[in-house]
Amino acid sequence: MPVDAIYFDGQVARDRPVSVNLDSQGLTFSGDGLPPRAWRMAGLFAVDPPVKGHTLRLAHDSQPGARLVVHDEDFMAELLAIAPHLKGGFNPKRAMKFSLWIGLSLAAFAGVMYFTLNYAPQKIAVLLPEEWRERAGEQMEKALAQGAKFCTTPAGDAALSAMLASLAEGDPDMPPIKVRVYDIGLMNAFTLPGGHIVLTRGLINETSGQDEVAGVLAHEIGHAAHRHPEAQLVRIMGVEILLSVATGTSGGGNTGSLASLAAVLRSSRDAERQADTYAVDMMVAAKIDPTGLKRFFEKVLKEEGKPVNTTLSRLGSVFSTHPGTAERIGLIKPAPTSIPLKPAISDSQWTDLRKICG
Residues at the site binding Zn ion, with contacts judged by CB under 5 A: 272, 275
Beta bridge partners of 181: 151, 199
Instruction: Name the DSSP letter for residue 148.
Output: P
Least CB distance to Zn ion at residue 317 (A): 6
Q: What's 35's DSSP letter?
A: E
Nearer to Zn ion, 287 or 299 (CB): 299
Backbone angles phi, psi at 13, to 5 degrees: -80, 70
Q: Which is nearer to Zn ion, 230 or 352 (CB)?
A: 230
Are residues 189 and 200 in contact, defined by beta-carbon separation less than 8 angstroms?
A: yes
Using an 8 Å Cβ cutoff, are 168 and 174 in contact?
yes
Q: What is the C-alpha separation between 105 and 115, in angstroms, rounded?
A: 16
CB of 116 to Zn ion, least distance (A): 24
Least Å distance, CB 222 to Zn ion, is: 8
Quick one: residue 119, left, alpha or beta (phi over 0 = left, psi -120 to 50 = alpha)? alpha
Cα–Cα nearest to 112, from 100, 126, 124, 127 = 124
- Please, what is the minimum distance in Å from the beta carbon of residue 217 to Zn ion? 11
Distance, CA of 149 to CA of 142 (rounded, Å): 11
Cβ-contact 151, 183 below 8 angstroms = yes
Q: What are phi and psi of 312, to 5 degrees?
A: -60, -40
- For residue 339, which phi and psi values (nearest 5 degrees)? -90, 120
Q: Which is nearer to Zn ion, 230 or 272 (CB)?
A: 272
**In terms of CB distance, is 272 or 289 closer to Zn ion?**
272
Residue 306: φ, ψ to 5°: -70, 145
Q: Least distance in Å: CB of 180 to Zn ion?
A: 17
Q: Nearer to Zn ion by C-beta: 145 or 275? A: 275
| Least distance from Zn ion to the Cβ atom of residue 275, Å | 5
Residue 38's alpha-carbon distances to 82, 103, 112, 338, in angstroms, are 16, 33, 45, 96
- For Zn ion, the closer CB: 213 or 275: 275
**Least distance between Zn ion and beta carbon 220 (Å):** 7
Q: CA–CA separation, 110 vs 5, rounded Å?
A: 46
Compute the distance between CA of residue 27 and CA of residue 268 in angstroms, rounded to an integer.
Answer: 66
Nearer to Zn ion, 264 or 275 (CB): 275
As measured in angstroms, the least distance from the Cβ of 355 to Zn ion is: 26
Q: What is the C-alpha to C-alpha distance for residues 21 and 9, in angstroms, rounded to an integer?
A: 18
Q: Which is nearer to Zn ion, 272 or 352 (CB)?
A: 272
| Short-list 351, 350, 321, 128, CA closest to 233 | 128
State the minimum distance, in angstroms, from the CB of residue 298 to Zn ion.
Answer: 16
Instruction: Evaluate the CA torsion angle 344, 187, 193, 234 in order and state its sign.
Output: positive
**For Zn ion, the closer CB: 211 or 272:** 272
Kindly tell me which of 59 and 181 has the beta carbon lying closer to Zn ion.
Answer: 181
Q: Minimum CB separation from Zn ion for residue 213, in Å?
A: 15
